[in-house]
Structure formats: C-alpha cells, structure tokens
Structure 1
Amino acid sequence: MNVTQEIVKYVLEQASGVVIALMLIWRIETKLDGLTSAIMHLSDAKASK
C-alpha cells in the first residue's frame, strides 16, 4: 500500500468515528430533551395543586 492509500484509509476511519459520535450525541440530546420536558410537566402539575 502506498502513502496516499494509508492517508485515505486513516481519514475515512476518523470520519466514521466522528459520524458515530455525532449520532450518539444527537440521541442523548433527544433523550435529555424528553426528560427535561417530563420534569417541567411534573413540576408544573405540582405547582398547580
């Protein structure tokens, strides 16, 4: 394998890692948004009693 192929392989591996990390962050963010809205809903229900 020549140097160019090594560089392309390395860049693709790094890029796939970044994509996976972004997907995980996006999923966690979505779950946190759901949790936050549930907590807000519960605290609103408690405050109105």
Structure 2
Amino acid sequence: KRKVIEKVQHIQLLQNNVRSQLIEMKRLEVDIDIKIRSCKGSCSRAL
C-alpha cells in the first residue's frame, strides 16, 4: 500500500514537471514568433 502511494506521488510529480515544461515551451514559442515577426521587416531589407 505504501509503495502504491509513493508511485502515485511520483507520477503526480512527473505530470507537474511535464505541465511546467509545456507552459515554458508555449511561452518560448510565442516569444520566438514575436521576434520573427518583428524581424521580417528589418531582415527582408538585409537579404
């Protein structure tokens, strides 16, 4: 019984890690998207 509880807690911890990584990825994705959009104007002149 104790081992099951430990496993459940471990799984919950991993789920939280995955969630926080997903949030971070989405944040970075938006950040990159903004940089690309702002770059299009200045970069197109350089190419």
* TM-score band, normalised by shorter chain: 0.7 to 0.9
Using the TM superposition, give the Cα deviation of residue 23 of structure 1 relative to its aligned residue in structure 2, in angstroms. 0.4
- Residue 11 (structure 1) aligned with residue 37 (structure 2): no
Which letter does structure 2 place at the counterpart of 1:13? L
The two structures have a TM-score, normalised by structure 2, of: 0.84
**Structure 1 unmatched runs, 5+:** none
The two structures have a TM-score, normalised by structure 1, of: 0.81
Which letter does structure 1 place at the counterpart of 2:3? V
Deviation digits for residues 18-44 of structure 1, max 9, x if unmatched?
Answer: 000110011001000000000002234
Question: How many residues align structurally?
Answer: 46
Alpha-carbon RMSD? 1.6
**Structure 2 unmatched runs, 5+:** none
* Higher gyration radius (CA): 1
Instruction: Determine the C-alpha separation between the residues in 2 that align with 1:3 and 1:43.
Output: 57
- Residue 32 (structure 1) aligned with residue 32 (structure 2): yes
Q: Identity rate of aligned residues, in percent? A: 17
